[in-house]
Amino acid sequence: MDNVGADAVADPGTERDPANTSQGPLARGGSGRWGSRGPAGADVTAGVIVALFSVPEGMAFAAIAGLDPAAGLYSGVVPAVVGSLLAGTPLMVTTLTSAIALSSQEALGNARLDPSDPRNLAALTLLVGLAMAVFALVRLGAVFRAVSVPVMTGFSLGIAVQIVAGALADATGFRSTHHNTLVRIADGLAHAGAWDRGVVTAAMATVAVWAVVHASRRWRPWAVLVALVTVSAMVAAWRVPLPLASSLGPVPTGLPDVTLPDWSVLPALVPGACAVAVVALAQAAGIPSVVPVGEVTSGRKAWRADLPAQAAANLAGAFFRALPAGGSLSRTGVALAAGARTRWVGVVSGVVLAVLVCAMGRAIGRIPLAVVGGLIVVVGAKLIVGRSADVRRAWRSGPIGVTTLLLTFLATTQIALHYAIAAGVLLSLAPRAMAAVRGRVRWGRGPAGEAP
């Protein structure tokens, strides 16, 4: 699928978020890989912002899936550094996502294992890394590359809508009990009267500050950080009683000890780990269509490097209490919005997060969830707008393209992601198979249309 990836990169209109056309790694002189002299100031700033986001977002994703919130936080340290060091797609941030967390919960549940046992989590993360490595060896990327642009557009839109739906609870204070993404959004809007005024005010203030700063071309790279720090400081100064990041669970105050997997549970986790790996890789596959891969590599070459990079990130993170990780569209979107230029943003984010955990664990636990929710809604909205060119292309392609996009979008928002991925692959391959059959039939007939 990353080769939406290849297809989207071929179309300049889909290479990056149109609302952020000046912030690509090559648009402002970066090399697209490391930069000419190490991390630029924009990479450091963006890395700090991504690290701050990783505290409440990583803990929330883990907590929603019934997993250890601290493990969700640690997933933004070692995997982010290793993934960025090896990935072929510049700016891709490798860490825990909501879909990976939920898939991990399902894998542990099917194996009847205790999700609170760090050794079980280490075993799952290790197997996910091994599964990704096997997928890379057998060239599974060819399957992802076979996915058509309408299918990948529908999948990416579905993931973006999931990002927004997941943030609405923190941005409004109302938590829907529905599991379906679209129904959850509709339920939240229908219960607007039940929204917490303080939470909504903080979220709207965050969006307003972001919008004001973002309107200035000079200050645009700082918009996310300014909004995060300003509104968080206001909430603390006025002592507004809002849910904080620390409400998700105790924020660690140090790095994790080395944790060895429970080797005896590996066989039971194999099927679930493969499903988690597919979900993680499918999400990462949509990132090159949002982030320009640059002149130094093509979309196909980038994807070939991304597969083993994510495998290595999980293999390394497994021994440091990290949950399974993959390319995160939301965290990469935050990096883009903050003006990141090269892959250093992921390295910086992992290092800064480790420092924050060690030195300021209690302080970063005071980030209001409403502030994060407001900014995540902004990021999700920007990702949706960034797919507008692909939506128009699908619309112009005719009924088949539109139907394929809609079916993939609905599947992504309503069923388990690994099933949605399988459906998307089938939808992409079906027209090709039909065309191949028709070609064979025509080839087997004579000039007059009769069998020879």
Q: What pLDDT is recorded for position 388? A: 87
Q: Compute how many other C-beta atoms are within 10 angstroms of the C-beta atom of residue 395.
A: 12
- Smallest CA-to-CA distance from 9 within 297, 230, 238 is with 297
Burial (Cβ within 10 Å: 0-12, 13-18, ≥19) of residue 9: buried
- Smallest CA-to-CA distance from 396 within 386, 385, 407, 405 is with 405
Q: What pLDDT is recorded for position 371? A: 92
CB half-sphere exposure, 357, CA atoms < 13 A = 27
287: enclosing H helix or E strand: none
**Cα dihedral 293/295/296/302 (nearest 10):** 30
Kindly list the domain boundaries of the chain, sorted by start residue.
4-32+39-393
Q: Are strands 326-327 and 94-95 parallel, antiparallel or unpaired?
A: antiparallel
Q: What is the DSSP letter of 327?
A: E
The encoded tokens of residue 433 equal 């198979």
Q: What pLDDT is recorded for position 204? A: 97
Chain center to CA of 307: 15
Q: What pLDDT is recorded for position 132? A: 95
Contact 323, 104 (CB under 8 A): yes
Q: What pLDDT is recorded for position 289? A: 65
Burial (Cβ within 10 Å: 0-12, 13-18, ≥19) of residue 266: middle
CA-CA distance, 384 to 165, in Å (whole number)? 13
The encoded tokens of residue 302 equal 């980038």
Chain center to CA of 210: 21
Contact 156, 286 (CB under 8 A): yes
CA-CA distance, 77 to 86, in Å (whole number)? 15
Can you give the pLDDT of all 452 residues of the chain as single tens digits? 333 333 332 333 333 333 333 333 333 334 445 544 567 788 999 999 899 888 877 887 887 677 888 898 899 999 999 999 998 888 899 999 878 987 898 899 889 999 989 999 999 999 999 999 999 898 776 666 667 778 888 888 888 888 888 889 999 999 998 888 899 999 999 999 999 999 999 999 999 999 999 899 888 877 888 898 899 999 999 999 999 988 877 778 888 889 999 999 999 999 999 989 988 887 787 777 666 544 334 455 666 788 899 999 999 999 999 999 999 988 888 888 788 888 899 999 999 999 988 888 778 788 899 998 898 888 788 878 878 888 998 888 888 888 889 998 998 888 877 778 778 777 777 776 666 666 654 434 444 343 33
Q: Which residues of 73-91 are buried (b: 16+ CB within 10 A; e: fewer)?
A: bbbbbbbbbbbbbbbbbbb
